[in-house]
Structure 1
Amino acid sequence: MLLSFAALAPNAHAQSTPPVFGFDDVSALARALAGKPHEPASPAKALPATLQALNYDQTRDIRFRPAQARWRNEALPFELMFFHLGGYHQAPVTVEEIGPRQVVPVPYRSQLFDFGRNRLQPQAWGDIGFAGWRAHYAVNRPDYKDEVIAFLGASYFRAVGKGQQYGLSARGLAVDTVGGRGEEFPRFTRFWVQRPGPRDTALTAYALLDSPRVTGAYRFDIRPGVTTTVDVRMRLFLRQPVATLGIAPLTSMFVSGENQPHPEDYRPEVHDSDGLQVALATPDGQPGEWLWRPLRRPNSVQVNAFQATRLHGFGLMQRDRQFASYEDPEARYERRPSVWVEPLGQWGPGRVELVQLPAPDETHDNIVAYWVPQAMPAVGQPVDFAYRLHWEAEKTHLPPAGWARQTRLGRGWAPLPEGETQYVVDFTGAALDGLPASARVEAVASVGAGGELLEQHAFRNEPGGAWRMTLRVRRTHPTQPVELRAFLRRGGDALTETWTTQLPTP
């Protein structure tokens, strides 16, 4: 049932009075919810059987009518549209609008949707709720409002900036993705969206999160642009202990790339993201080491952790922006955004965790990255985090000196002896671009237990306009995971980020 919170504001007429609804109100709901047993969503009670039975294509054929967009008739800078329940999306969410004087529900009406070729009888359904919602804003040209962010399914949401196309997703929270009693997927069950003013360039929304072991309150400040930013404020309450909380989780897809070509696919690369980027900070907040981890599609689950006393940021990035790298005029992977997570405030010590999963094809998200705090909160005690998500393309967060432009794996003209692996990595960036080919640049590499470094070279790759590093390594253990780290150095100065990978197992 939808509740109105207008009574929370004693007087909404004066500018100095508090808003009718805000983060503290959602926090109070989350705290109260955490003190009760979890009630799983039961779509069978609310969703008609005909909707539950729809397949993927039939659900996609139900489309929102743009002329029915909320706020369109008032010519406000943002518009809201909604997703219909059915198929894979059977748990409803409720949406309310925060106005200047009261909070009003946004009811479901079948007239909002075009049901396409589906033979359905929506007149008898009543208010069944929505599967999710999306916001539109004129980010590409002034006479058309583009879809800039969408919340659909569990706690997933995606955003785009100017000229971008949807790719990876963010999530509200990851719970026990690795370890513990098994992963659970918290849901955003209720949303409140602030009605924008006629000149607003940002949209604010609140959400209530719920799962068997965690509840939470969220605030999203969405600013579309060349880079679209989403400021996230969250407060969590544990119902039960958990092994890991994944803060600011990102979910992406990697099937093939320069370091793992697909022998049967005409497309050179297929991925929404090609690497994990992590920026560490020193304990006093000064810039620290930058790490780059090219992604892979492993044969079995692969989990890696990157420890940090203090985190400057992390993200799943799409560095390769050339159409020729993908040759897919429909998917346009070169337009998929990178997402950089910028902590707001002190997060304390912890680790960035990267989970890579096997996947049969590009329809499956198989990459997850998130921050795990070193200490888990006590049951019932609130814990707060705040961060900014940058959905970016050309103007990306990159290391200030040099970075890996591409990573290739494999032999050249001569076969490699059994057990040996060769990497070819090209670096570019401000610290490298002005160096002459005669500069004394060296590759500094280290191999973890289970492997042996055989060769390391660095030289100017004149045709490619970059500095190339080649590494040849050999396994000394047949199955042990082997970590490899390397960077370019001139004298005592590091010229690049630290490139790191794990040797693929046979």
Structure 2
Amino acid sequence: MLRREFLMALAALAASPGLAQENEPGLQAGASTPFSRDDLMERARQMAQSEYTPRGEVPEDWRNLTYDQYRQIWFDSRNALWEGTALPQRLDVFPPGLYFPRPVEVHVVEGGEQRPLRFDMGVFDTTDQFPDLTIDDSLGYSGLRLRADLLGDGNHTEYAVFQGASYFRGIGTGENYGLSARGLALRTGDPQGEEFPDFVAFWIETPAKGAPSVTLHALLDSPSCTGLYTFVIRYGETLMMDITASLFARVDLTHVGIAPLTSMFLFDQTNRDRFSDFRPAVHDSDGLLIHNGDGEVIWRPLANPETLQISAFGDNGPRGFGLMQRARRFSDFNDLEAHYHNRPGVWITPGEDWGQGSVALVEIPADKEIYDNIVAYWRPAGTIPAGARHDMSYRLDWGDDPAPRKAMPLRVTNTSAGGSAFHKGLIFVIDFQASEAVPEDLSKLMRIIRTTAGTVSEGVLQRNPETGGPRLAFEFDPQGTPLAEFRVQLRAEDGTPLSEVWLYRWTQDTRMAETR
């Protein structure tokens, strides 16, 4: 998806007294009607019993805006919902057009009543080059942004955005936007093509004075299903989203992606030789972390393959998973604009037993950092039959390596790979965190190094003088194989697991092979 520079530009452009009355500044609201979550649930259920009907589009001149033209219109934060009040939150809206041809409903809930926000061109600022466009009843907003006083300095800065299909993003205090989440993924990577459900309407509950959280409801619709999602969002150093959702299947759902994450991985020290770039690495996320139902913790470094790769990590009752950004130093990226070292990771914790299924990882070839080429999600083993309702809950933590630390094994902090000047094949180098659990004499540690093809050496274990943690290096001879799966782990002298399980899929770089 071509969204990286576009969404970063929107965030840079952004930084009502209650609900404004007619002809007053601020977001304009329509007439109030009674609100209940049960009514929203019933609406989703009834929609699933009818044939899917796409929402109407905004006028053609809005849809035909160029990228540069769309950037010439932005929300004026002085018109934000709850601006000028003592409430802790602010809500902004986005204009339609370009990549967002279909508007969404946005409602404000207070005192058991809901009021729709009406489209108003007056809440936006534009440059003098912005074209004159059609204004009619088909217009609406394309999404929303949440802001709060994160630093306690009186300035309301953004921490979450909901815009485009069922995509949303969040950040912990002081971080930069990176990976995205979605409400639902359908048929990701399937030959018949992926289906992208939409959040077609939002209801934001007015927070109480001093409340640290805000509640947002979202109605989902697609040709295959409908659904109702409720987000309870708590901002802070780690942004927390508690999500409860119900899906209503229009058809048999055989390939469902629950709690999907979308990210970007271009290169790091495992494939640096494929890119001519002044930076040592470029990625929003560098690994998939899984805490499976058996208690095993798996670290799978991400890859940018030459051909589409789909991996499935079978499980029963996962304890959690997510995409992490463990490279946190500026020197890891040397990028003064993108600030990749300040991108959040996301950890997903199921709210109940999710049963049999797998954590799916889709890695798509990419040659530029503007493409999102990584997708991870939970895929249930069974089918959700047409007419059925599927309930689920989970929490998303957005922050600096937000996965639980307590009682977890040694983390993998870095992976490097490359050729050797003195040996045939490749050398893999894995760094682990420093810990008191690591004996002074590293020879007391067991090294488990396995491969599905080719041969591997027994490995050399040394202490990294910069980090203080153990570093394991081993040689790999492909022996003509185009693909090999690795499994590596450090264990204590008695065989007790000490580190995360490092899993990696190596594929032959045909470009490099042809030059040898």
Provide the TM-score with structure 1 as the length reference.
Answer: 0.90
Instruction: Letter of the 1:451 partner, please give it.
Output: G
The alpha carbon displacement at 1:218 in A equals: 0.4
The alpha carbon displacement at 1:241 in A equals: 1.7
Q: 2 CA distance for matches of 1:4 and 1:298?
A: 53
SS at match of 2:41: helix
8 Å CA contact 1:353, 1:370 repeated in 2: yes
Q: Which residue of 1 aligns with 2:98?
A: 87
Instruction: Letter of the 2:83 partner, please give it.
Output: R
8 Å CA contact 2:254, 2:382 repeated in 1: no
Gaps of at least 5 residues in structure 2 are 1-28, 510-516
Q: 1:125 to 1:463 in 2, by over 3 A?
A: same
Matched, 1:154 2:184: no
What RMSD, in angstroms, separates the aligned Cα atoms of the two structures?
1.9
Q: 2 CA distance for matches of 1:117 and 1:254?
A: 38
Aligned partner (choices 15, 36, 42) of residue 21 of structure 1: 36
Q: 1:180 to 1:34 in 2, by over 3 A?
A: farther
The 10-residue stretch of structure 1 (436-445 or 374-383) with the greater mean CA deviation from structure 2: 436-445
- Cα deviation, 1:154-205, whole Å, max 9, x if unaligned, reads 0000011111110000000000103373210000001111011112110001
Matches within 5 A, 1:169-184: 169-179=180-190, 181-184=192-195
Aligned partner (choices 29, 33, 40) of residue 6 of structure 1: 33
The 10-residue stretch of structure 1 (375-384 or 215-224) with the greater mean CA deviation from structure 2: 375-384
Q: 2 CA distance for matches of 1:187 and 1:438?
A: 53
Q: 2 CA distance for matches of 1:415 and 1:156?
A: 48
Q: 2 CA distance for matches of 1:321 and 1:396?
A: 15
Aligned partner (choices 145, 148, 169) of residue 137 of structure 1: 148
Q: 1:464 to 1:128 in 2, by over 3 A?
A: same
Instruction: Letter of the 2:68 partner, please give it.
Output: D
Q: Which residue of 1 aligns with 2:413?
A: 405
SS at match of 2:130: coil
Instruction: Letter of the 1:489 partner, please give it.
Output: R
Q: Which residue of 2 aligns with 1:472?
A: 475
Instruction: Letter of the 1:316 partner, please give it.
Output: L
Matches within 5 A, 1:380-419: 380-393=387-400, 396-398=403-405, 400-412=408-420, 414-417=421-424
Q: Which residue of 2 aligns with 1:273?
A: 285
Matches within 5 A, 1:372-383: 372-383=379-390
Q: 2 CA distance for matches of 1:269 and 1:184?
A: 31
The alpha carbon displacement at 1:99 in A equals: 1.0
Matched, 1:423 2:435: no
Q: Which residue of 2 aligns with 1:12?
A: none
8 Å CA contact 2:320, 2:347 repeated in 1: yes
Matched, 1:295 2:299: no
Q: 2 CA distance for matches of 1:4 and 1:204?
A: 21
Q: 1:150 to 1:144 in 2, by over 3 A?
A: same
Q: 1 CA distance for matches of 2:31 and 2:298?
A: 48
Instruction: Letter of the 2:409 partner, please give it.
Output: A
Matches within 5 A, 1:241-256: 241-256=252-267
SS at match of 2:62: helix
Q: 1 CA distance for matches of 2:356 and 2:371?
A: 32
Q: 2 CA distance for matches of 1:242 and 1:396?
A: 30
Matched, 1:238 2:249: yes
8 Å CA contact 1:137, 1:147 repeated in 2: yes
Q: Which residue of 2 aligns with 1:285?
A: none
SS at match of 1:430: coil
Q: 2 CA distance for matches of 1:425 and 1:186?
A: 39
Instruction: Letter of the 1:319 partner, please give it.
Output: R
Provide the TM-score with structure 2 as the length reference.
Answer: 0.89
SS at match of 1:73: coil
Poorly superposed stretches of 4+, deviation over 6 Å: 2-5
Matched, 1:220 2:228: no
Q: 1 CA distance for matches of 2:211 and 2:467?
A: 45
Q: 1 CA distance for matches of 2:97 and 2:144?
A: 14
Q: 2 CA distance for matches of 1:505 and 1:131?
A: 43
The alpha carbon displacement at 1:360 in A equals: 2.1
Q: 1:179 to 1:5 in 2, by over 3 A?
A: farther
SS at match of 1:28: helix
Matched, 1:331 2:330: no
Q: 2 CA distance for matches of 1:403 and 1:438?
A: 17
Matches within 5 A, 1:349-364: 349-364=356-371
Identity %: 36
Paired residues, number: 478
The alpha carbon displacement at 1:138 in A equals: 1.1
Q: 1:438 to 1:376 in 2, by over 3 A?
A: closer
Q: Which residue of 2 aligns with 1:310?
A: 317
Instruction: Letter of the 1:39 partner, please give it.
Output: T
Q: 1 CA distance for matches of 2:267 and 2:343?
A: 15
